[in-house]
Amino acid sequence: MANRAIPGVAAHATTDLPVMLPFNPKAGAHDELLVSRWLASVPPRYVFFLLLLWPVAAFAQGVDYTTADAFVALWRWIPFLTFQGFVFNILISVCAMTIGTLAGAVLGLAHVSRLRIIRQVAWFVTQLFRNSPWLVLLFIVLLAFPFQIEVFGTTIPIPGWVKAVIGLSLPIMANISEIVRGAVQSVPSAQWEAAESLAFTRTQTLWQIILPQCFKRMIPPWMNWYAILTMATPLCSLLGVGENINFTRQAMEAEGNRPELLVPFFGYSLVLFFAYCYPIARATMALEKRFALKL
Partner 1 sequence: MSTWTEDQPIVSIKNVRKAFGTLEVLKGVSMDIMKGEVVCIIGPSGSGKSTLIRCVNALNDIQGGSITVEGQEVHTENLDKLALRKKVGMVFQQYNLFPHKTALENIMMAPVKVLREDKADVKERARELLKKVRLYDKEDSYPGELSGGQQQRVAIARSLAMRPDVMLFDEVTAALDPETVKEVLVTIKDLAADGMTCILVTHEMGFARELADHIYFTDRGVIVEHGPPDTFFDNAKDPRTKEFLDQIL
9 binds partner 1 (CB under 8 A): no
Q: What are phi and psi of 243, to 5 degrees?
A: -120, -175
Number of chain residues interacting with partner 1 (CB under 8 A): 17
In this structure, are residues 212 and 184 in contact, taking their beta carbons and an 8 Å threshold? no
**Dihedral of CA 7/12/18/20: which sign?**
negative
Instruction: Rounding to the nearest 10 degrees, give the CA dihedral for residues 269, 83, 36, 225.
Output: -120
Of residues 132 through 191, those in contact with partner 1 by CB under 8 A are 188, 190-191
Q: How far is the CB of 109 from partner 1 (least distance, A)?
A: 19
Task: Tell me if residue 114 falls in helix, strand or coil.
Answer: coil
CB nearer to partner 1: pick between 154 and 197 = 197
Encoded one letter per residue, x for contact with partner 1 by CB under 8 A and - for no contact, window 23-42 reads --------------------
CB nearer to partner 1: pick between 78 and 198 = 198
Pairing of strands 14-15, 148-151: unpaired
How far is 278 from 43, CA to CA, in rounded Å? 10
CB nearer to partner 1: pick between 11 and 190 = 190
Taking the alpha carbons at both ends of the chain, their separation in whole angstroms is: 44
Closest of 54, 84, 180 to residue 126, by C-alpha:
180
52 binds partner 1 (CB under 8 A): no
CB nearer to partner 1: pick between 187 and 263 = 187
CB nearer to partner 1: pick between 124 and 207 = 207
Q: How far is the CB of 99 from partner 1 (least distance, A)?
A: 29
CB nearer to partner 1: pick between 81 and 183 = 183
CB nearer to partner 1: pick between 24 and 203 = 203
Q: How far is the CB of 141 from partner 1 (least distance, A)?
A: 39
Residue type, 213: Q
Q: Which of 31, 76, 78, 193 binds partner 1 (CB under 8 A)?
A: 193
Of residues 199 through 258, those in contact with partner 1 by CB under 8 A are 199-200, 204, 208-209, 212-213
DSSP state of 204: H
How far is 107 from 98, CA to CA, in rounded Å? 14
Residue 89 exposed, middle or buried by CB count within 10 Å (0-12, 13-18, 19+):
buried
Q: How far is the CB of 191 from partner 1 (least distance, A)?
A: 6
Q: In Å, how far are 6, 10, 26, 27, 155 from 22, measured between CA atoms?
A: 8, 15, 12, 15, 68
What are residue 156's DSSP bridge partners? Answer: 149
CB nearer to partner 1: pick between 29 and 190 = 190
Q: How far is the CB of 108 from partner 1 (least distance, A)?
A: 19
Q: How far is the CB of 217 from partner 1 (least distance, A)?
A: 12
* Cβ count near 119 (within 10 Å): 15
Q: Which of 16, 31, 196, 253 binds partner 1 (CB under 8 A)?
A: 196
Which residues contact partner 1 by CB under 8 A?
188, 190-191, 193-200, 204, 208-209, 212-213, 295
